[in-house]
Amino acid sequence: VFSNIIRMVEEAQNRPSHIAKFIDRFEKKYVTGVLITVPIFIAILYYMNGFTFEEAFYRGMVLLTVASPCALVASATPATLSAISNGAKNGVLVKGGAAMEALATMDVLYSDKTGTMTFGDFRVVDYEAATDVIKEVVFMEQQSSHPIAKAIVSKFSDLSLDAIDSREPIEEIAGLGLKKGSYRVGKPSAFTQFNDPNQYHEKSAGDHTTILVAKENQIVGYFSMSDQVRHEAVDAVKGFQEEGVEVILLTGDNEAVAKKVAKEVNITHYKAACTPEDKINAVMASQEKEQVVGMIGDGINDAPALANANIGIAMGSGTSVAMESAEVVIVKNDLMKLLYSYKLSQRLNRIIKQNIIFAVGVIIMLVVLNVLGLLDLPTGVVFHEGSTILVILNGLRLIREPK
Ligand code: ADP
Ligand code: MG
């Protein structure tokens, strides 16, 4: 995990923000402009305004100095790196300036449930199945990284699995369940067409996360599990809502659980029984409305939506696929830290704006003073370099935490 994080940080350095890229492009043209203007300026003073060559050349050199865009170039990058390092100190890894910049403009935040709003630490609270069926299920779930799988494997860890046919391949369908030979295990909505002589559909209904087991086309067991909402999720959701970010819950789990969790964290909009495609579609529907979309998740089933969102956010406890697909990783799983980073990114954008206005303002002022003949070279250098230092110091403020 650690070496992955280091690699992601290295890659992040190759992803500058839009404003940094814009400044970079602008700077090249601007510098060429200055280099063309200076000799023309000298020529005008010398031939048309009756200056001596020495005077004209001196004024030209002052222009060259004060018009160079040092402060402008230093407006964005030091500030962005400061913000990224501040985030990292607080346990949020932001992969690059572009992600930091986008975070500030987020309109909607979609959130996964299991492992994100909740701990993803299920306990089996109820089940019914024959022992050989349970063994098959445990054997299959050993192959899965889903929190449900961990709950089942640890609950039945004392069962011997020697008799299981291990030659049959096990197939995992993200967001749905597992398949091995004639056995299937997964979300109840996938089994509506199956024979259910023991009424497992009804028996397992309720506001628990439930999976059913089927052999051929008959349901042969169920497992119900419960999970707990992360306490900081409640505060984080509230914080985002206060900042005007709409928070929406997207989950592959059933309607009853989705409703219960949404209520506990005070989210009004939720969508239950989502497939991984449904999660992408929700993200894209918001993007079509010109909204900047954040998506936070932890599972393999969330990865496609994370990759599609403007800002993909992964939980540090999640699968590595989720962390790879995301631009932001909440290393210690504390959702309040995401809120902190959101506010940090807004401070960053404000500071970059201040810096650009200040840098351009100083250049304009010094150029005008020079044209009017009111500026000597030492004073020009002091103001010009001074503005660059101020801009960098202003950016470095982002390393410190706000009071
Ligand atoms: P969430 O969106 O809440 O993280 P998922 O999309 O990962 O949930 O899973 C949705 C549903 O698919 C689960 O509630 C469960 O019913 C079923 N499911 C997913 N993975 C497994 C698994 N390994 N074993 C059994 N059921 C699973
Ligand atoms: Mg999940």
339-375 confidence digits (pLDDT tens): 999 999 999 999 999 999 999 999 999 999 999 999 9
Tell me how far apart the alpha carbons of residues 191 and 224 are, in angstroms, rounded to a whole number. Answer: 15
Tell me how far apart the alpha carbons of residues 283 and 278 are, in angstroms, rounded to a whole number. Answer: 9
Tell me the ligand closest to 299's alpha carbon. Answer: 2
pLDDT for res 403: 67
pLDDT for res 283: 95
Specify the residue with its C-alpha closest to ligand 1, atom 12: 176
Task: Residue 11: give the domain boundaries.
Answer: 2-79+345-399
Q: Is residue 89 part of a domain?
A: no
- Ligand 1 atom nearest residue 210's Cα: 16
Q: Please, which residues have CB within 8 angstroms of residue 146's CB and are 6 or more apart in sequence?
A: 299
Measure the N-to-C terminal CA separation of the chain; round to a whole number of Å.
32
pLDDT for res 1: 60
Q: Report pLDDT digits (tens) over 294-319.
A: 999 998 889 999 999 999 999 999 98
- Ligand 1 atom nearest residue 276's Cα: 6
Q: Is residue 88 part of a domain?
A: no
Choosing from 187, 251, 255 the residue with most ligand 1 atoms within 8 A of its CB, the one to mutate for a pocket test is 187
Choosing from 134, 301, 306 the residue with most ligand 1 atoms within 8 A of its CB, the one to mutate for a pocket test is 301
pLDDT for res 381: 95
Beta bridge partners of 247: 109
Q: Is the pLDDT of residue 230 over 80?
A: yes
pTM: 0.87
Q: Which residues' Cβ are closer than 6 Å to ligand 1?
A: 112-114, 141, 144, 146, 148-149, 175-178, 185-187, 209, 211, 251-253, 299, 301
Q: Is residue 96 part of a domain?
A: no
Instruction: Kindly state whether residues 13 and 148 are assigned to the same domain.
Output: no
DSSP H or E segment with residue 401 = none
- Ligand 1 atom nearest residue 185's Cα: 25
3-class state of residue 247 by DSSP: strand
Among 291, 313, 341, the domain boundary falls at: 341
Instruction: Kindly state whether residues 247 and 323 are assigned to the same domain.
Output: yes
Instruction: Kindly state whether residues 115 and 264 are assigned to the same domain.
Output: yes
Ligand 1 center to 120 CA (angstroms):
11
Q: For the chain, what percent of residues have pLDDT higher than 70? A: 98
Which stretches does DSSP call E strand in 187-271?
A: 209-215, 218-226, 246-250, 269-271
Q: Is residue 178 part of a domain?
A: yes
Instruction: Kindly state whether residues 233 and 337 are assigned to the same domain.
Output: yes
Q: Is residue 86 part of a domain?
A: no
Q: Please, which residues have CB within 8 angstroms of residue 312's CB and are 6 or more apart in sequence?
A: 294, 295, 305, 306, 325, 326, 327, 328
Q: Read off the CATH number of the domain in which 237 is found.
A: 3.40.50.1000
Q: Read off the CATH number of the domain in which 214 is found.
A: 3.40.1110.10
pLDDT for res 73: 92
Q: Report pLDDT digits (tens) over 8-54.
A: 667 766 778 889 999 999 999 999 999 999 999 999 999 999 999 99
Q: Report pLDDT digits (tens) over 132-161.
A: 999 999 999 999 989 999 999 999 999 999
Instruction: Kindly state whether residues 193 and 313 are assigned to the same domain.
Output: no
Q: What is the mean pLDDT of residues 97-116?
A: 94
Q: Which two tokens stand for residue 104?
A: 């500030």
Ligand 1 center to 285 CA (angstroms):
23
pLDDT confidence tier of residue 7, bands split at 50, 70 and 90: confident
Instruction: Kindly state whether residues 213 and 132 are assigned to the same domain.
Output: yes
Q: What is the mean pLDDT of residues 112-121?
A: 94
Ligand 1 center to 186 CA (angstroms):
7
Q: Is the pLDDT of residue 3 over 80?
A: no
Tell me how far apart the alpha carbons of residues 1 and 183 are, in angstroms, rounded to a whole number. Answer: 34
Total structural domains within the chain: 3
Q: Is the pLDDT of residue 109 over 70?
A: yes
Q: Is residue 312 part of a domain?
A: yes
Ligand 1 center to 144 CA (angstroms):
10
Q: Which of 271, 326, 258 has the alpha carbon at shortest distance from 297?
A: 326
pLDDT confidence tier of residue 401, bands split at 50, 70 and 90: confident
With beta carbons less than 8 A apart as the criterion, state whether 51 and 59 touch.
yes
pLDDT for res 5: 64
Query: Sheet holding 218-226: strands in order across?
Result: 123-129, 218-226, 209-215, 183-186, 177-180, 170-173
- Residues lying with their CB under 5 A of ligand 2, a single-atom ion: 112, 114-115, 298-299
Q: Is residue 129 part of a domain?
A: yes
3-class state of residue 220 by DSSP: strand
Instruction: Kindly state whether residues 33 and 45 are assigned to the same domain.
Output: yes
Only one residue has tokens 């495609």, namely 277
Specify the residue with its C-alpha closest to ligand 1, atom 14: 253
Q: Report pLDDT digits (tens) over 264-286.
A: 999 999 999 999 999 999 999 99
Tell me how far apart the alpha carbons of residues 300 and 252 are, in angstroms, rounded to a whole number. Answer: 12
Q: Report pLDDT digits (tens) over 162-197.
A: 888 888 999 998 889 999 999 999 999 899 999 999
With beta carbons less than 8 A apart as the criterion, state whether 359 and 308 touch.
no
Tell me the ligand closest to 273's alpha carbon. Answer: 1
Instruction: Kindly state whether residues 308 and 378 are assigned to the same domain.
Output: no
Tell me how far apart the alpha carbons of residues 367 and 66 are, in angstroms, rounded to a whole number. Answer: 7
- Give me the active site residues, please: 112
Tell me the ligand closest to 153's alpha carbon. Answer: 1
Choosing from 114, 137, 156, 315 the residue with most ligand 1 atoms within 8 A of its CB, the one to mutate for a pocket test is 114
Q: Please, which residues have CB within 8 angstroms of residue 98's CB and are 6 or more apart in sequence?
A: 15, 16, 17, 18, 327
